[in-house]
Structures are given as C-alpha cells and as structure tokens.
C-alpha cells in the first residue's frame, strides 16, 4: 500500500504600502495600462514597455517586464477572479499562483495589502523584496499624480 503524499501548502507572502492619494487616483494608477507601464518593475534598470488590462472577472491582463537593455524579461500575466471597484482585485497568474490586493481608504490616503502565493524557485525574502519594490515604485509614481 502506497502512502499518500501530502501536498505542502506554502503560506502566502504579504507586502503592503500606504499611498498618500485619493482612492480614485490610486485605483486608476493600479488599473490603467497608461499608468501601469510607469511603475510595474522592481529595479531602476528595468521597465514595463507595455501593458494590457481587461479589468473584470474572467478578464486577462499582461504586463511586459524587462531589463532596459533587453537582455532579460518576462510577461507578467493572469486572469481576474474577483474585482470590486476601489476595494479588491484578485487574480490567478499564468503559473496558477493566486494574488489578492485590497485597497482601504484611511485618512489622507489608501492602504494596499497584497498577499501572494510564492513560487518555488527563489527564496521567499527575495520574492518579498521584489514585490515590495514594485509597490514602492507604485507609491512614488501615484503620489506624484495626486
């Protein structure tokens, strides 16, 4: 009799940021491809030359992330599983991992909390740092719009 192999459920990694801008500005910056290309990268030597976004349950998104010299890059893509305007976005990435982003107005800004399923190729701290860097870029860009 073979023993059942238990699947190891890895806990989600959570990153968060507080953006000093109205929820309408934060939401537009997060969801409009014209804005996404301005902040969706983790390092200053990377860029997001194009983005597509069909923001609805079942809708797809795709953002090209690449080094500015073009030597490395990938498409960050997935399908939305939940969308509540100005409050919540959930999606499954093309590799099956799940991401949730909540947008909570607080005082003069919006708190964004984003838990995501980690991948298994890179250390969790590296993943947390990369996703946090993207959120920090988002904050800097979006606060410049407000």
Classify 15-145 by CATH class.
Answer: alpha beta
Beta-bridge mates of residue 66: 47, 73
pLDDT of residue 116: 98
Here the tokens at position 53 are: 């976004």
**What pLDDT does residue 146 have?**
82
At CA 111, angle to CA 13 and CA 45, rounded to 5? 65
Exposure class string for 13-43: b at 16+ Cβ within 10 A, else e: bebebebebbbebbbebbbeeebbbbbbbbe
pLDDT of res. 6: 40
Which residue ranges make up each domain of the chain? 15-145
Euclidean distance between CA atoms 45 and 68, whole angstroms: 6
Encode the chain (146 residues) as per-residue pLDDT tens digits.
444 444 445 699 999 999 999 999 999 999 999 999 999 999 999 999 999 999 999 999 999 999 999 999 999 999 999 999 999 999 999 999 999 999 999 999 999 999 999 999 999 999 999 999 999 999 999 999 98
pTM of the model: 0.90
pLDDT at 5: 41
Query: Cα(25)–Cα(135) distance, rounded to whole angstroms?
Result: 15
* Residue entry with tokens 């080094």: 67
């Amino acid at each position: 009799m073979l023993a059942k192999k238990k699947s190891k459920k890895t806990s989600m990694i959570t990153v968060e940021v507080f953006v000093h801008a109205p929820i309408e500005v934060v939401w537009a910056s997060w969801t409009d491809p014209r804005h996404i290309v301005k902040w969706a990268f983790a390092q200053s030597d990377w860029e997001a030359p194009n983005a597509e976004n069909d923001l609805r349950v079942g809708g797809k998104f795709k953002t090209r992330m690449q080094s500015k010299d073009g030597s490395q890059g990938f498409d960050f893509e997935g399908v939305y599983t939940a969308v509540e305007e100005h409050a919540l976005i959930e999606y499954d990435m093309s590799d099956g991992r799940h991401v949730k982003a909540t947008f909570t107005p607080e005082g003069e800004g919006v708190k964004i909390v984003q838990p995501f399923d980690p991948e298994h190729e890179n250390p969790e701290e590296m993943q947390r740092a990369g996703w946090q860097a993207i959120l920090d870029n988002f904050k800097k860009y979006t606060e410049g719009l407000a």
